[in-house]
Amino acid sequence: MLEEVRLLECTNAIVKLANCFVQQTNILAKLQGVGGQKIIVERVDVHQGGQAIVGNIQGSMGGKDKK
């Protein structure tokens, strides 16, 4: 009986720690800005001799790939 109570207490402690870890991970993700930035360009003026690209452009990660 005592072993079952101790096992239940340990199981409850593990569940609480796991929940705490998940909450902290979610908070860290919010603070780090998961999802990145989104830039919407509404107007572009291209003058004579200029060049423009039209479409959905996927750029690099701003130098994060370099080490």
Q: Dump pLDDT digits (tens) for 24-54.
A: 999 998 888 766 777 888 888 899 998 888 7
Which tokens belong to 30?
A: 């919010």
Percent of the chain with pLDDT over 90: 40
Q: Using CA atoms, how far apart are residues 58 and 43, in angstroms rounded to an integer? A: 19
Q: Output the pTM of the full model.
A: 0.46
Compute the Cα dihedral for 8, 13, 14, 20 and give only its sign.
positive
Distance CA 12, CA 6 (A): 10
